[in-house]
Amino acid sequence: MVGFAGKSAVAGSAAFVALLGSPVPATAVAEQCANPTGTYTAAVPWGQRLIDPVRIWPLSRGTGQLIAVIGTGVDGRNGQFASGQLVGGQGTEAEDCDGRGTIAAGIVGAQPDPSTTFTGIAPGAKILPIRYTQANGGGDPGQLASAIETALNRGAGIILIAVPAASDGPALTGAVSRAKEKGALIVSPAAGSQQGQTSYPTATPGVLAVGSTNQAGEAVQTESGSYVGVSAPGAELVSTSAGAGGTVAHRWPVSDPSLAAAHVAGVAALVRAYHPELSPEQVVARLTLTAHRGPSGGHDPRRGWGAIDAYAAVSAAIPADTPGPGGPASVAPDTFVVPAAAPARANADKVSGVLAIVGVAVAIAAGVVVAAVRRGKRRGWRPSRFRAS
């Protein structure tokens, strides 16, 4: 279920419930738009703590990335969006009566502000707001396809589906294919809350599908499948609110499985800004290889390959051609990667990561030498029964 504490708008609540499968009459939604709960000043939200973007900002803030947020529009009048951060023009929508698009955009890129403990993941990124649906369920796949085409035409490198469709169609499949051809990464949530429900283009090959979890790490959506790549926070969240009228204002607590994809889109922007040479497939490989595995170490149909680890995804030393888990037989399904050491200075760059990796290699080599010496002493320095061929 979706919950808001404090002052809440009928339309905002109705729209979120509509996303989870309960239809709401359009007239009821139109009567009142979403408004803020207030300005959030309590402890840093758990989703933000999990991603820990402040730790990553010395390496990457997502600068140079254009992220399309496709859904209900984005209210650019919230004071936590920087001047010029929201890119306007034909096919965009900088208003959001429903509220979902503004919440998603805030998770992606809201600016740090001294009046609140909430901040977005990639404040250096620009946001392209595109509205294709108002409320009333998941939206039309044909209209969603057109929105994706608009995002591609405007040069978006990351496309966040804030409101997925409940059905597929040839136009939507074609739009996903064109995104792949143009080097754009589509991130879409597994938002279905009813048994057997499938979201699109979430389940379409070539899309990074995101599962949703709560603070305990439990999946909060019912939708499941082999297509789910990673998981991220999607319950009891804080983010920017529509209807702020120029102030810094928020909605909380917000629980919506679709918002997990917003966290991953923000992390993808950090990765692509730090590794601009990577293709969308290589970015996905990084995100899945560095994710925190579940108890089984393998793939979970609702949480994918594990919880997103933003710092590891940005900083880990991974050859660009390394396939993701579950890929070719040469890669074990439970393959994962650990990050390089954290930067020691605010202006740390890739050199620090390289030095950390070299240090690890030296330590491993030293360990091998010590072990060899100890084995040699135990054998009286007799040769091993294994010989090089």
Q: Could you report the per-residue pLDDT of 119-128, keeping only the tens digit for each? A: 999 999 999 9
105 pLDDT higher than 50: yes
Average confidence score pLDDT of the chain: 81
**Average pLDDT rounded to a whole number, residues 363-379:** 40
296 pLDDT higher than 90: no
Q: Quick one: angle between helices 259-274 and 280-289, nearest 10? A: 110
The 10 Å CB-count burial string (b at 16+, else e) for 363-388 is eeeeeeeeeeeeeeeeeeeeeeeeee
Q: What is the pLDDT of residue 327?
A: 59
Identify any residues that bridge with 131 across adjacent strands, giving them in sequence order: 71, 72
Greatest C-alpha distance within the chain: 87
**Average pLDDT rounded to a whole number, residues 345-363:** 38
The DSSP code for 300 is B
267: nearest Cα among 114, 121, 75: 121
pLDDT band at 32 (very low <50, low <70, confident <90, very high): confident
**Which of residues 193 and 242 earns the better pLDDT score?**
242
Question: What's the CA gap between 15 and 98, in Å, rounded?
Answer: 6
Q: What is the pLDDT of residue 184?
A: 98
Q: DSSP letter string over 100-112?
A: HHHHHHHHHHPPP
pLDDT band at 138 (very low <50, low <70, confident <90, very high): low
**Average pLDDT rounded to a whole number, residues 63-77:** 96
pTM of the full structure: 0.80
206 pLDDT higher than 70: yes
**Average pLDDT rounded to a whole number, residues 72-78:** 95
- Tokens 């917003």 belong to which residue? 262
pLDDT band at 193 (very low <50, low <70, confident <90, very high): confident
Residue pair 264/288 in contact by the 8 Å Cβ criterion: no
Question: What's the CA gap between 323 and 332, in Å, rounded?
Answer: 10
**Which of residues 47 and 329 earns the better pLDDT score?**
47
